[in-house]
Structure 1
């Protein structure tokens, strides 16, 4: 190929050829503009930021593509290049990574066919070589992901707002590497602690830093062999010589996605260096616990620590956490239960202990209790590794210097599944715990229902944004002052930046709430319209002509007052309610309720109200099972205690009237949606135990997104198999109501973790697409995942103060996922503590929605949950699906009647 160019350009090789071609393309463009009458001095749009030589290649190829018909005017230096091949098939370096400024919305989720292989040419060779030069600029960039650009899913609507997030940038030293090795032991060593001791022996000899997971993966910052290397170590206690073989696998870049596991191990060591104790997934400072002696509780402060490579690089997420422990141990609880009722002691103990979590202070570990072994005591023996038999009394005395006081107490059982060395199968292992040294964690249901307990606990656990920022800064100061922590990071070329990130965000416009008679009210700065709801009519009222109120003799007054107050208050809501039929039950037995439901409810009754003297789950479950499955009728269960407060009874009855209106198919308010023909769906799954999961599926039925079709299916796992049935039924109901199928379907899925995203995309989305194909519809689908259990926290900075962001705050850059189309939304107003943003991931989109459309839609849907006159944390269809699945899984425990499918009977 000709070298091309004159003067100083001569001798620059192929780069000169491309520069000359670029200059001549610019000249050709200028001549064309003059021929068209366009002035050459007119301002041009600002080009995107340069990315080096890749931008030059990208610009060259785009201009060649636009000018392929005018190629005859090129100079010989350009003609000598086989440009037609370049024009007809762009090189992968140009196509595979679109510039964010050009492509503003996600197309990869829509495109399913692979890009055809480009035709080989000299220009292609140049592009590939230039790309290789870019990669080789850093010695640590050795994988394909090193040149993979992050995706962007950024909107522009709303007003700007200054934000801060609980992310700290991790800076990686240039040229540092991570080398992965496989470790093998001969003979095979099962105990994790022994494997770690052996690896520590050989690493001390080499004076090398290392990260070892205790299994077979070893990470080193330096390369010690190209193939494999064998060392010898001594197993302490047994004087057994063991051969440790280290096999080189591959070199990784510190920014690789595969290194996330390494980073979390690294920061686990940092947390231990700072004297934090791991409990579950988080780390706590047991030396600074807060005591609540009046409730026998103590609160440990701590952090949730996670590292990930986000859109703007490697980040450390640091979130303040608290762990509530009881100063009461399991033995004291068992004694307390026995003294209260010895006859039902074992049954009550199992109810209180099973599924609870205990903390053992001698090793700072937590265990889930799976059973109570009444016939096993600390006097019993178990086999050791060397074949001896030792009692639990002797073991704890020898290993932890703990003397068990009561040798006749029962033992607690913890089951865990462990991977068997040399096999992919897991086996269950049993671990016996002594109640006397096992401390209870968490709060009981009785504690949670006690206002005083929760108020005292909240003094330590309800942390303000300013307190979170202060804790984060204290953590950073401690890391800088701790030489051991600094050494751990420095060995791997890492450095923590000075502080957390300050980011620009956006606040979406305040929504307008539409009530009956088209009355429109602003949601206000706090996104709360409780007062407006009480003073306006509902958008769609269902009159009640026949209904019945059941009560016991002690609640007769409450029943009559409730019926008359319902009739008086309903008029202000635009609902007509006739006087109820009052039916007194002879007693409070569960069988009596069942008999009255079956015999006293008439076919003309629209709703059955039960005023119960106490809260009993068995009675509540029975009523819901009969009313929702066997005898389909809307039902309302009320605790008489809530009707006993004269100063609050009016607002309570008003809320019950609104709830009953929804259960009969009415609607309370709506919003203005700038589209037609869309169907919005929500999905959530309730887990009641093994093989007891229930999937709730909710779909909108009208243009105002105010009426819903609900279906619930029992399933055996999180990722359900019943979506085809659910979507088919929803499409048929939508057509019956709107006389046509929807043009777009937006499905919002709650309850999906990061590890399930790929499976959901392949498995669940495929089910929905197959239904649309079976109906032969041109309807397009958008699938959005909602995540609530995240560690991300957002703070608004106003006048130098750190506070909670206002409702409608959006953050969609910098700390979003590197290769996902996602954003964070704060939909609700929080006055106490710190608000939890909601994470949205657009997993699949064939509706061609831009980020602003998805973000605004999700925020609007947070206004439509009829159990609360304000915004909620997740979109309303997801919350409806959650309520539906929980109701069916906990109480109904059968498939609800289809007669209730178009009503919000589960509110």
Structure 2
């Protein structure tokens, strides 16, 4: 035990896995080939006034280097993170000193404080010997604060130069080269993410492609036309229907602009707001040519339009448009504003923009690998003077990694199926000739068509229902009631009333509690779908299945089979399971698999809360799950009510299986490395507290694993036979050497077969383990579970308990009564306080309503 404590507080890697076929792959990691044991000097930087954005801080720092570099830094070339940290390979001449920097070239950062002189205080805080980092990488030392700071210094070092040359967001820098337009005055830029990562015996640079949305630069008028979805500038004059100027103001507020009517001025300004008055209406006073009795010039009233004509000889083209307020007091016409290039769009993209963004970023593996090489060319590590100062040499070749390909498990469907037990090939299979393992009976159900009989004729609806019934029956469900009652409803009307009516008619038709409402939707829009789910989940307590109207026109058996998989588990059935001996950890003792996630509101949303979800398996086959939800303070990652939620699921497990779980396996989604310690401490304690609340002596063995999908590791097959049709590595690829943590128990698993783009493996990190898994047991168990996602006949990219928890948290967002699911509703008042969220009806507690 003492050995483990010395190296890590988490679980130490038991040994490297051996199962599966050994293969080699390329990974987007580049080895730091030379990392000298130098001393790095760490300085704290305070720039006042404070709270300036990093881009302004960097400009001030740049000016500091130009002004004082030679005299004060003695040839040192420190690197700066744009906020507080400065690292130097040479010690500076002073321990603490304050410098004055005068800037006239940049926008005044805050109109309330038009400060042109900035104070830059640099103070030495630590010295770090990189020899400590070497000891950590070779498993001779535990992680210390010094080592963490050493890794941070390398991060700042590799990002310093790109940050001087390019637009930077977080760990990525972006270039307008090859940019593409997005709907609504935005454009997407390609960027490159880089991060220094400790690995086994060495440091690596993880380099990947990224993309983000920027505001389109240039004429503000052009941007307004796009925001308002108009064809040309002439449409700006229309009054019916009225133009949505508040939407424009929301979009342009805070944008940096330059003014085009004065040639010399390169000074930037920030847009404060839109002014309702136009240049023709807005009046102000100016000095006239005449003087009063005291000899002072008298003042006359003029309009902005007249002022521009007199002072600049410029006749305004759009004198009737609202003006723009910039800085503290200035008001200017919209047409003289030009938006500065390289400003990131911080808000959530709409559906069309998101789809375009995905198209832009979706690259097959060989294309992505080449793009990463482009990034390497732009970064040009060999000729980076800052890296040379620190003595670093970085490889220009992608790392070659030892990996293994795990064999797929045997999947079981109903014994009467043609292929009742089979081994899938390449992570995908189909339902032809197969029946679900346990089909349910659907006796009482109703159909709601959101639209009128012109849009969806009764014959069309009935034709789809017939095909669905035939397919569900062939797939192993029992549907005695083949013609459920159909209700037509206005998609913009009283949705709750329509669903209630359909529910009553379904119940009356066969004199029993309805099990399902099938809803036919006119579009893919969120508001209608969200309201249907709120009402069925929290008001009526009945499962619902939504389908789009386009699928009813020519119902395809393949589509109906996919719908059948969802309906069957929503009613408590089981679609498939693994053959008898495939999951010994689950079958040898009563074991509950749990998945947990927290869904946070969108960036910039200050009103909505976060939603925590916990799911738990309810059988020895890990095919049925129950879910628990809580609303909690926004943006907190730790699950606040985990004890209560776990008690709920442990009770349900006991009621369902008649036994208490002797083991708990928790897969926790969405935790970053910086949060490992906090989440483990709080949530492990909460799980144990739940067990003790049920019985003082109840101590099941717990294993706690974090699943990460938000990382930048990608794998590329080196030989064609190691790849699948999409050019990705095959399903079952596992990596637990070379690029993983020096001593902790983590591994990458690419469990799914790629469809589009480059597959992203899941990164599993074992934080706590009473069950003493070996590497092979943990990796094979996790991979096999990925074949049990109830909604499709493919392996999935992360383990189903974590996937289900993610679905539950996303669905619970729709349970709020006050929600306005439109683009403009991100800051509505009254939205999303905990009291507005309906509770799930108990009728759904034991079925997978969230599928």
How many pairs does the alignment contain? 716
User: Is residue 488 from structure 1 mapped to residue 386 from structure 2 by the alignment?
Assistant: yes
Out of 485, 491, 504, the residue aligned to residue 402 of structure 2 is: 504
Task: Name structure 1 gaps, 5 residues minimum.
Answer: 1-89, 99-105, 111-149, 363-368, 382-391, 394-401, 415-431
> Structure 1 residues 751, 244: CA separation in 2 closer, same or farther (over 3 Å shift)?
closer
CA distance in 1, matches of 2:684, 2:611: 19
Out of 690, 697, 706, the residue aligned to residue 623 of structure 2 is: 706
The equivalent of 1:155 in structure 2 is: 17
CA distance in 2, matches of 1:380, 1:512: 80
CA distance in 2, matches of 1:357, 1:185: 22
1:439-458 equivalent positions in 2, closer than 5 A:
445=350, 447=352, 458=359
The structural deviation recorded for 1:361 is: 10
Q: In the alignment, is the contact (CA less than 8 A) between 1:153 and 1:812 conserved in 2?
A: no
Out of 790, 807, 811, the residue aligned to residue 887 of structure 1 is: 811
More helix by share: 1
User: Is residue 565 from structure 1 mapped to residue 477 from structure 2 by the alignment?
Assistant: no
CA distance in 2, matches of 1:538, 1:211: 60
Q: In the alignment, is the contact (CA less than 8 A) between 1:614 and 1:639 conserved in 2?
A: yes
The equivalent of 1:260 in structure 2 is: 151
The equivalent of 2:38 in structure 1 is: 176
> Structure 1 residues 752, 412: CA separation in 2 closer, same or farther (over 3 Å shift)?
farther
Task: Name structure 2 gaps, 5 residues minimum.
Answer: 105-113, 134-146, 260-269, 285-303, 306-313, 328-333, 817-836
Out of 586, 597, 613, the residue aligned to residue 696 of structure 1 is: 613
CA distance in 2, matches of 1:794, 1:537: 36
Q: In the alignment, is the contact (CA less than 8 A) between 1:228 and 1:245 conserved in 2?
A: no
> Structure 1 residues 801, 342: CA separation in 2 closer, same or farther (over 3 Å shift)?
farther
Out of 505, 510, 522, the residue aligned to residue 600 of structure 1 is: 505
Q: In the alignment, is the contact (CA less than 8 A) between 1:549 and 1:580 conserved in 2?
A: no
Q: In the alignment, is the contact (CA less than 8 A) between 2:646 and 2:690 conserved in 1?
A: yes
- The one-character-per-residue Cα deviations of 1:480-534 (angstroms, maximum 9, x if unpaired) are 5874x2x22110111112412111111111121110117544343321112xx23
**When the two structures are superposed, what TM-score results if normalisation uses the length of structure 1?**
0.70
**3-state SS, counterpart of residue 889 of structure 1:** helix
The structural deviation recorded for 1:199 is: 5.4
**3-state SS, counterpart of residue 534 of structure 1:** coil
**3-state SS, counterpart of residue 615 of structure 2:** strand
CA distance in 1, matches of 2:699, 2:752: 36
The equivalent of 1:270 in structure 2 is: 161
CA distance in 2, matches of 1:528, 1:352: 49
User: Is residue 166 from structure 1 mapped to residue 28 from structure 2 by the alignment?
Assistant: yes
1:754-833 equivalent positions in 2, closer than 5 A:
754-774=673-693, 775=695, 776-798=697-719, 803-818=727-742, 820-833=744-757
Moved more, 755-764 or 294-303: 294-303
Q: In the alignment, is the contact (CA less than 8 A) between 2:257 and 2:337 conserved in 1?
A: no
User: Is residue 684 from structure 1 mapped to residue 597 from structure 2 by the alignment?
Assistant: yes
Q: In the alignment, is the contact (CA less than 8 A) between 1:257 and 1:309 conserved in 2?
A: no
- RMSD, aligned α-carbons: 4.3
CA distance in 1, matches of 2:335, 2:673: 33
CA distance in 2, matches of 1:210, 1:404: 49
The equivalent of 1:222 in structure 2 is: 90
The equivalent of 1:591 in structure 2 is: 494
User: Is residue 864 from structure 1 mapped to residue 762 from structure 2 by the alignment?
Assistant: no
User: Is residue 537 from structure 1 mapped to residue 414 from structure 2 by the alignment?
Assistant: no
The equivalent of 2:136 in structure 1 is: none
The structural deviation recorded for 1:540 is: 0.9
The structural deviation recorded for 1:282 is: 1.8
CA distance in 2, matches of 1:715, 1:870: 34
The structural deviation recorded for 1:446 is: 5.2
More contact order relative to length (CA 8 Å, sep ≥ 6): 2
Out of 162, 166, 174, the residue aligned to residue 284 of structure 1 is: 174
Q: In the alignment, is the contact (CA less than 8 A) between 2:672 and 2:708 conserved in 1?
A: yes
**3-state SS, counterpart of residue 702 of structure 2:** strand
**3-state SS, counterpart of residue 698 of structure 1:** strand
Out of 198, 222, 226, the residue aligned to residue 333 of structure 1 is: 226
> Structure 1 residues 403, 642: CA separation in 2 closer, same or farther (over 3 Å shift)?
farther
1:827-846 equivalent positions in 2, closer than 5 A:
827-846=751-770
The equivalent of 2:548 in structure 1 is: 639
CA distance in 1, matches of 2:63, 2:627: 57
CA distance in 2, matches of 1:564, 1:698: 34
CA distance in 2, matches of 1:854, 1:173: 34
The structural deviation recorded for 1:781 is: 0.7
The equivalent of 2:565 in structure 1 is: 658
Structure whose CA Rg is larger: 1
1:50-129 equivalent positions in 2, closer than 5 A:
108-109=9-10
User: Is residue 306 from structure 1 mapped to residue 180 from structure 2 by the alignment?
Assistant: no
CA distance in 2, matches of 1:188, 1:569: 65
CA distance in 2, matches of 1:411, 1:590: 39
User: Is residue 582 from structure 1 mapped to residue 448 from structure 2 by the alignment?
Assistant: no
The structural deviation recorded for 1:202 is: 3.0
User: Is residue 249 from structure 1 mapped to residue 156 from structure 2 by the alignment?
Assistant: no
- The one-character-per-residue Cα deviations of 1:733-760 (angstroms, maximum 9, x if unpaired) are 1112222111110011111122222210
> Structure 1 residues 202, 752: CA separation in 2 closer, same or farther (over 3 Å shift)?
same
User: Is residue 350 from structure 1 mapped to residue 294 from structure 2 by the alignment?
Assistant: no
Q: In the alignment, is the contact (CA less than 8 A) between 1:376 and 1:411 conserved in 2?
A: no
**3-state SS, counterpart of residue 28 of structure 2:** strand
The structural deviation recorded for 1:341 is: 8.9
Out of 824, 833, 846, the residue aligned to residue 902 of structure 1 is: 846
> Structure 1 residues 166, 738: CA separation in 2 closer, same or farther (over 3 Å shift)?
same
CA distance in 2, matches of 1:293, 1:350: 17
The equivalent of 1:525 in structure 2 is: 425
**When the two structures are superposed, what TM-score results if normalisation uses the length of structure 2?**
0.74
**3-state SS, counterpart of residue 903 of structure 1:** coil
The structural deviation recorded for 1:625 is: 2.0
Q: In the alignment, is the contact (CA less than 8 A) between 1:172 and 1:493 conserved in 2?
A: yes
Q: In the alignment, is the contact (CA less than 8 A) between 2:615 and 2:627 conserved in 1?
A: yes
Q: In the alignment, is the contact (CA less than 8 A) between 2:40 and 2:90 conserved in 1?
A: yes
